[in-house]
Amino acid sequence: MTSLKAFAIASAVASVMLPVASLADGTVEVLHWWTSGGEAKAVGELKSAFEAQGGTWVDSPIAGGGGDAAMTALRARVVAGNPPSAVQLKGPGIQEWAQQGDLADINDVATSGKWDSVLPPVLATIMKYKGDYVAAPVNIHRVDWIWANPQLLAKVGVTAAPTTWDEFNAVADKLKAAGITPLANGSDPWQDLTLWDVIALGVGGPDFYKKAIIDLDPAQLTGDTMIKVFDQMRRMRGYVDAGYAGRSWDLATRMVMNGEAAMQIMGDWAKGEFAAAGKAPGKDFLCWPAPNQGGYILNSDSFAFFKVTGADKIKGQKVLAGLVMAPDFQRAFNLAKGSIPARTDVPLDGFDTCAQKSHEDLLAAISGDKLVPSLSQEMAISRSYRGEFLDVVTQFYNSDMSSADAVRQLAAAVARVKAQ
């Protein structure tokens, strides 16, 4: 054989083999909204783990905390007939996409990984549609936290966490009188709703939260407790500095870190920011559960797998699903993310005191039936209902609307969606 002929044959063989080689490793396009410092570090763990298996990672980050912008981008991709293969998606959103027939099941990965025996039932239920796993959970985030600057609080003689909203107001009033901004918040509607979410649990307690927000009970939506929730929200507006417009949640966290504000109410993804900046809990910052009447607001990140074609992409989805649920990965990811593992069998040694507290309170809330899925983080109700809460709360917060008007508007909006 001439060397030219040998070369031609070798090239032909190689070109036949190449797709086979990449097929074995898989390609995955991941749409997510993890773009802050701590978030990018955490998602970097997943990318590296996927690439270490020889896979090709196509990153599709959509900036905007809370995921509202990412969900808009996702809809556009699906409508265009070109869905990403894996999407950061959660709660009822998973069920909605599955119901429309857009999600692929990953039962083979879930069965061989024995997911049913290592996931808390509350999460396993969210990940399944009609008994099939269509998503894989990566973590448990707690929403009802206060992140505090110990040095600023010491200036006004505060060392203990407020356990009621009246106590919180007393602390905030002291700070304000001392010329310290009590609360760091930005201007995204979802940040306002996060604040409102936490207040609703603390003012009304878990039963109220379930009846008013999950069951959308008209009597609870319009009752005195709901008025009190909006009254406290109005009070919060007075604790925020004048420069809040255009501020993202992670910049608000930075204000607490830098001593420009004493507290932020935010889920424990804020801890990912402190961790990325090398700050330690107890010393550089405090994590206090917000007044919550023994409740716990649950948020969990997961990846849902959209129906795609091509063996390489399908392979990528399965590899990613397996990785997301791998114990070592869940440990590394959650140490960076500020959350705790979704798997119940990953030991928490090496996790900080905030994570330990989150875990302890989670178990207590589950056994006391006081766990509530987060409204603000898309865990509680469908997007159409959540959108109405988002609009009313943000309009209220950014105007001088009365609590009575807000409650009226909210109840009317919920009734409108129900009638559709």
User: Interface residues with ligand BGC (CB under 6 A)?
Assistant: 33, 39, 65-67, 141, 269, 299, 301, 377
Min dist. Cβ of residue 94 to ligand BGC (A)? 13
A 10 A CB-CB count for 403 gives 17
In the bound state with ligand BGC, the residue whose beta carbon lies nearer, of 127 and 314, is 127
What burial letters (b/e) apply to 30-61, b meaning 16+ CB within 10 Å?
Answer: bbbbbbbebbebbbebbeebbeeeebebeebb
**Residue 279 or 307 with smaller CB distance to ligand BGC:** 279
Q: How far apart are CB 188 and ligand BGC at their closest, in Å? A: 10
Q: How far is the CB of 373 from ligand BGC (least distance, A)?
A: 12
Instruction: Scan for tokens 């008007």, then name that residue.
Output: 405
**CA–CA gap between residue 175 and residue 103 (Å, rounded):** 50
Other CB atoms within a 10 A radius of the CB of residue 120 amount to 18
Nearer to ligand BGC, 301 or 312 (CB): 301
Find the helix packing angle between 327-337 and 311-324, rounded to 10°.
Answer: 70
Q: Closest distance between ligand BGC and the C-beta of residue 301, in Å?
A: 5
CA distance 339 to 146: 15
Closest CA to 106 of 300, 323, 302, 317: 317
CA distance 27 to 315: 7
Task: Read off φ and ψ for residue 72, nearest 5 degrees.
Answer: -65, -45
Toward ligand BGC, which CB reaches closer, 200 or 298?
A: 298
Angstrom distance (rounded) from CA 161 to CA 130: 43
Amino acid, single-letter form, for residue 200: A
Nearer to ligand BGC by Cβ, of 39 and 352: the residue is 39
Give the ranges where 277-419 is alpha helix by DSSP (H).
311-324, 327-337, 353-367, 383-397, 403-419
Residue 66 CB, nearest approach to ligand BGC (Å): 5
Measured CA to CA, the distance from residue 153 to residue 174 in angstroms comes to 9
269 or 285, CB closer to ligand BGC? 269
| E strand or H helix at 172 | helix 165-177
Residue 141 or 315: the one with the smaller Cβ distance to ligand BGC is 141
Using the minimum distance from each CB to ligand BGC, give the nearer residue, 29 or 301: 301
CB of 153: closest distance to ligand BGC in angstroms? 25
